[in-house]
Amino acid sequence: MYSIKLVLKFLVLPLILVGAMGSCDEPEAEKYNFEDWQKITVTASAYNSLKQQGEGNPFITAWGDSLRPEVQSIAVSRDLIRKGLKHNTPVKIEGFEGVFFVNDKMHPRWRNKIDIYMGLDKEKALKWGRRKVEIAFPAKDEPGG
């Protein structure tokens, strides 16, 4: 017999997510007021969905999300989760267009770090390397934060 968790995870949640994404004429970035967002500087690196870069299925995140190259996703160090960068939090990253979403979390050894998902493009990830960037995200008491 199927458990309720499995039914919710594989049937109901995808339907809710598709419905929530819906058809909106407004561009993604215009939904947010970045001026009111909390800003911090973090170390940013990049990662891909390649077998050698992780354990298990390289397209499944630590939160159980499926990574897709067309969705701008990041992984965050666990100290940043405590600062408000929890699952599905929208994030604006210096040097990038659009909004990224927190869909993955990193090993507990990392501090003040994000990993930017770059699909299967290993060269793009290597070219990005590692650098300090400013990110912005809603404060904990704001919607989406």
pTM of the model: 0.72
* pLDDT of 4 over the 70 cut: no
Rounded CA separation 115/48 (Å): 10
Average pLDDT value for residue range 11-19: 47
Per-residue pLDDT tens over the stretch 49-95: 876 666 667 778 888 888 887 889 999 999 999 999 999 999 999 99
- Let me know: does 75 contact 108? Beta carbons within 8 Å: no
Q: Is 117 buried (19+), middle (13-18) or exposed (0-12) by CB count in 10 A? A: buried
Q: Which of 59, 63, 95 lies closest to 81 in space, CA to CA?
A: 63
